[in-house]
Amino acid sequence: MKSHHQILIIGGGTAGIMTATQLLKKNGKLDIGLIEPADTHYYQPAWTLVGAGTYDYDKTAKPMSGLIPKGVTWIKDYAEGFDPGNNAVSTKRSGTFSYDYLVVAPGLIMDPTLIEGLPEAMEKGIACSNYTDPRHTWETIKNFKGGNALFTQPTTPIKCGGAPQKTAYLAADYFGKHGLKDKTNVIFATPGSVIFGVKQVKETLTRVIDRYGIHFKPFYAPYKIDVDKKIVFFNHTAPDENQCVINADNELGETMTGDAVIQIPFDMLHLAPPQTAPKFVKESVLVNDAGWLDVDHHSMQHNKYPNIFGLGDVAALPTAKTGAAIRKQVPIVVDNLMRLLKHQEASNKSYNGYSSCPLVTGYGKMVLAEFDYKNNFIPDPKLKRLLVFNSAKEHWRLWMLKKYGLPYLYWNKMMKGKNV
């Protein structure tokens, strides 16, 4: 196997595959190597629906070998370290690979150890998560008999930031349809200050929360799980003017210690595990102080090493980590790489932070939040023409888009380097 490539890509996820396919469409003679150890590529956006019993898990998986485009050298190994001064990447088994240009897109990793007791809770099946095993989430929801159904998320950035609340809405809908509404307290506890940062979408979701009678708990940052007693401990992170007062004998059994520690007992717990950049990225010279790949917010070019780009979930971009964001990032990275190959400046700085979050609000209902760095609501013009209604409102057509349209576009357009 050759040890030097014109362009080296780390990661066979959405960002890595899309970048490789779009580069080859620009120039089929490019010498591209792609480092990826996994045999299987998953369409993870559908895992929300798998966790609600309305999508087949097996349909979310395809062999990596069928997705890496012909003409790309697949280096089936783990990236382990960077030497940007010598334009080199080391791997676990295959040695070192050098490059002219590097694209870093390995995604992120789950790190349950950042919440005390979470690894044990997941191992024992006491906690479920669509992020790790959506089939277990569905079994948990189906077998739930009542009590506190607690949904929460960590203080770290997470992929698809809306996913934890989507699961709460689907579960609440399921419980209502199966006679459990009066026996259940659905609780959504988040470290965030609002249910969603985009005004138009927030208004819709506030009505959804009211419809289901969900107990919404902002400023709740989970830090510990007592597995035996089935209690989650939260730090209440609100500013002084929003300090929390917990009344004794409340219906949730919620208690408070001191000014900031809150305990909530649960009968069902779903959460997004804390998430970080992979260790080999986090411990490298390529990251910012928070441990994410330090790239320009508009060009995705590294702020220190101009022949390196980073995109997707690993990048330090202040927007939601979604496949929709990657869809807009890839063409800009590809354009900038093509400019550099022609000895021009990587001057395409047109990424505005676009991301979108398909917020499923119940079976057969969805809201589509599309936004930029400033949290402006910016519906995609193509989609707007197709849907002909306000996508910040719930609609069955958006559910159909989520369940059927987006998976089709993903496998047949995005993964094949076509613009969508």
**pLDDT class of 156 with cuts at 50, 70, 90:** very high
Q: Quote the CA–CA distance of 138 and 415 in Å, as a whole number.
A: 28
The CA radius of gyration of the chain, in Å to the nearest whole number, is 22
Do the beta carbons of residue 103 and residue 19 sit within 8 Å? Answer: yes
Residue 239: what pLDDT?
Answer: 83
Q: Give CA torsion, residues 249, 250, 255, 259, to 10 deg.
A: -110
**pLDDT class of 387 with cuts at 50, 70, 90:** low
Average pLDDT over residues 156-162: 93
Catalytic residues: 160, 357
Residue-wise pLDDT for 303-350, tens only, equals 999 999 999 999 999 999 999 999 999 999 999 999 999 999 999 999
Do the beta carbons of residue 168 and residue 359 sit within 8 Å? Answer: no
Dihedrals phi, psi of 245, to nearest 5 degrees? -120, 120
Residue-wise pLDDT for 96-113, tens only, equals 999 999 999 999 999 999
Please provide the size of the chain in residues. Answer: 420
Domains, the chain: 4-108+277-349 (3.50.50.60), 111-274 (3.50.50.60)
* pTM of the entire predicted model: 0.95
Q: Which of 275, 246, 281 is nearest to 260 (CA)?
A: 246
Over 70: is that where the pLDDT of 241 sits?
A: no
Do the beta carbons of residue 357 and residue 160 sit within 8 Å? Answer: yes
Average pLDDT value over all residues in the chain: 95
Q: Select the more confidently predicted residue: 248 or 407.
A: 407
DSSP state of 105: -
Do the beta carbons of residue 204 and residue 181 sit within 8 Å? Answer: no
